[in-house]
């Protein structure tokens, strides 16, 4: 394949060096003419010896053409074009995509010759969609997860690949390149907005963990604890913390997480350490509670907020399998809606009402909220929901427990899944 890379920085050079191979010819375009000259002279433009060696070999074998004159872009035809330019911070915090736009504007003179146009630059979710509309061309987003200094190693042992496309059926060439070069690796092919969010989800999770552990280290000094043992304990539980607490739902509740989070925050302040990170966790949990309340209110608004509305909650304890309802999110929802004279609340909990059937509770229900992942809810026949709830009833299922409901005429709501509902 003939592959164009725009932007000869960390990502552009690593992309070129990794996907080189006898079957591909690469073209690199960068506005930095000095860098291009160095690449052509096989001088070092990267800190990574393996990237340098590959680029140098490609120049020698005439498998790499590097140029800084934009007119040269239109001398060739390409199967794939990778856009790897920088997306720095604009002003205080905004992601600046002006360089990506500038590049697309150049390519738009003759999009056809550039094959599958794949953006590798990190961009705020939704950007690819907007740019595809502006430039009237279906873009792809292939986020990069490499670390500087170990780029080729990271690209080679990647756990999975993420490719976002405006049109999931398009991108024949980029899919061919990825599957050929990563035959044993799962390719997650999704929409561009999701691919853009996945990149931020990874990077900000890294930032969050780094800040968290440094905050605890500073606190350890104040209270006389040893952070190395704290880290060792968290790492001992790496199986748990690798995947735990990553299921979206209704926020945390129960006897321990809420009180322990605010207690740590209080103690940090008490020790003159800023507790904003931990406070923000509590604030975010409250935001999710309010958002669930709003989902329910919106559900009732379909029925004109009339009288005699029925709200059903399935699962009262803070998690399935137990009967502990202290500080559970479901109980907070009940507290909130108890003051509404037009709303009747009916509940079901497998542990609290053993032997009773949940489907009787939803007879004539306008809104059902499913909190706990119990088999009694998960495996209910979809027709039972439709037969018992009022016509147009709303099922709120933020934990994706009863998604069989999406095949019914009822309205199915699950936070973060609007598109895939």
Ligand X SMILES: NC(=O)c1ccc[n+]([C@@H]2O[C@H](COP(=O)([O-])OP(=O)(O)OC[C@H]3O[C@@H](n4cnc5c(N)ncnc54)[C@H](O)[C@@H]3O)[C@@H](O)[C@H]2O)c1
Length of the chain: 421
Which C-beta is closer to ligand X: that of 8 or that of 197? 8
By CB under 6 A, the residues from 192 to 251 that bind ligand X are none
By CB under 6 A, the residues from 346 to 385 that bind ligand X are none
Q: Shortest distance, CB of residue 59 to ligand X, whole angstroms?
A: 17
Binder among 12, 164, 249, 253 for ligand X (CB under 6 A) = 12
Q: Shortest distance, CB of residue 167 to ligand X, whole angstroms?
A: 23
Which residue, chain included where needed, has tokens 């559970």? 328
Q: Is 265 in the site for ligand X (CB under 6 A)?
A: no
Q: Shortest distance, CB of residue 215 to ligand X, whole angstroms?
A: 25
Which C-beta is closer to ligand X: that of 35 or that of 310? 35
Q: Shortest distance, CB of residue 138 to ligand X, whole angstroms?
A: 20
Which C-beta is closer to ligand X: that of 12 or that of 138? 12
Q: Shortest distance, CB of residue 68 to ligand X, whole angstroms?
A: 8
Binder among 44, 90, 102, 255 for ligand X (CB under 6 A) = 102
Measured CA to CA, the distance from residue 329 to residue 286 in angstroms comes to 10
Is 217 exposed, middle or buried, given 0-12, 13-18 or 19+ CB atoms closer than 10 A? middle
Q: Among 6-14, 279-287, 332-340, 367-375, which window interacts with ligand X (CB under 6 A)?
A: 6-14
Q: Is 15 in the site for ligand X (CB under 6 A)?
A: no
Which C-beta is closer to ligand X: that of 68 or that of 292? 68
Sheet holding 140-141, edge to edge: 64-67, 25-29, 2-6, 80-83, 116-119, 140-141, 160-165, 186-190
Q: Is 48 in the site for ligand X (CB under 6 A)?
A: no
Q: Among 10-18, 296-304, 336-344, 355-363, which window interacts with ligand X (CB under 6 A)?
A: 10-18
Measured CA to CA, the distance from residue 36 to residue 170 in angstroms comes to 32
**Helix, coil or strand: residue 31:** coil
- Is 389 within 8 Å of 410 (Cβ atoms)? yes
Half-sphere exposure of 376 (CA within 13 A, CB side): 20
Which C-beta is closer to ligand X: that of 11 or that of 80? 11
DSSP track, 37-97: HHHHTT---SS-HHHHHHHHHHHHTT-EEEE--GGGGGGS--SEEEE-----EETTTEE--
Which C-beta is closer to ligand X: that of 187 or that of 290? 187
Q: Is 96 in the site for ligand X (CB under 6 A)?
A: no
Q: What's phi and psi for 323, nearest 5 deg?
A: -110, 15
By CB under 6 A, the residues from 142 to 171 that bind ligand X are 144, 146, 148
Q: Is 37 in the site for ligand X (CB under 6 A)?
A: no
Q: Among 74-82, 99-107, 242-250, 366-374, which window interacts with ligand X (CB under 6 A)?
A: 99-107
Q: Is 11 in the site for ligand X (CB under 6 A)?
A: yes
Q: What's phi and psi for 95, nearest 5 deg?
A: -80, 120
By CB under 6 A, the residues from 63 to 92 that bind ligand X are 84-87
Compute CA distances 243 → 5, 246, 371, 401, whole Å: 35, 6, 20, 18
- Is 30 within 8 Å of 36 (Cβ atoms)? yes
What are the structure tokens assigned to 11, written together? 């990502």
Interface residue list for ligand X (CB under 6 A): 6-12, 29-32, 35, 84-87, 99, 102-103, 120-122, 144, 146, 148
């Amino acid at each position: 394949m003939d592959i164009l890379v725009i932007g000869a920085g960390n990502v552009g050079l690593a992309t070129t060096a990794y996907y080189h191979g006898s079957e591909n010819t690469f073209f690199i375009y960068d506005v930095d003419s000095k860098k291009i000259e160095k690449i052509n002279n096989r001088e070092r433009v990267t800190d990574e010896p393996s990237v340098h060696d590959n680029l140098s070999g490609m120049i020698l074998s005439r498998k790499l053409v590097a140029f800084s004159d934009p007119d040269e872009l239109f001398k060739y035809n390409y199967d794939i074009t990778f856009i790897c330019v920088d997306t720095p911070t604009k002003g205080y915090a905004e992601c600046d995509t002006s360089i990506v736009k500038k590049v697309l504007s150049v390519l738009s003179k003759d999009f056809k010759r550039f094959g599958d146009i794949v953006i590798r630059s990190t961009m705020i979710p939704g950007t690819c969609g907007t740019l595809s509309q502006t430039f009237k061309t279906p873009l792809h987003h292939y986020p990069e997860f490499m670390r500087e200094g170990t780029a080729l190693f990271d690209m080679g042992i990647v756990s999975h690949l993420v490719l976002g496309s405006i049109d999931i059926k398009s991108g024949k060439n980029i899919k061919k390149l990825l599957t050929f070069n990563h035959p044993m690796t799962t390719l997650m092919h999704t929409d561009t907005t999701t691919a853009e969010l996945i990149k931020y989800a990874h990077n900000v999770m890294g930032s969050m963990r780094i800040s968290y552990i440094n905050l605890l280290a500073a606190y350890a000094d104040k209270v006389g604890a040893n952070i190395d043992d704290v880290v060792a304990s968290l790492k001992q539980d790496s199986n748990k913390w690798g995947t735990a607490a990553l299921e979206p739902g209704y926020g945390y509740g129960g006897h321990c997480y809420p009180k322990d989070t605010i207690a740590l925050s209080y103690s940090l302040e008490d020790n003159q350490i800023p507790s904003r990170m931990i406070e923000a966790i509590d604030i975010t949990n409250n935001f999710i509670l309010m958002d669930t309340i709003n989902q329910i209110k919106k559900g009732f608004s379909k029925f004109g907020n009339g009288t005699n509305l029925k709200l059903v909650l399935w699962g009262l304890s803070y998690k399935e399998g137990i009967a502990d309802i202290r500080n559970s999110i479901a109980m907070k929802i009940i507290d909130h809606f108890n003051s509404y004279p037009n709303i009747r609340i009916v509940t079901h909990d497998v542990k609290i009402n053993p032997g009773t059937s949940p489907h009787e509770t939803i007879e004539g229900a306008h809104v059902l909220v499913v909190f706990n992942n119990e088999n009694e809810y998960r495996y209910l026949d979809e027709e039972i929901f439709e037969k018992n709830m009022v016509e147009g009833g709303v099922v709120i299922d933020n934990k994706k427990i009863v998604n069989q409901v999406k095949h019914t005429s009822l309205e199915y709501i699950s936070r973060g899944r609007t598109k895939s509902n």
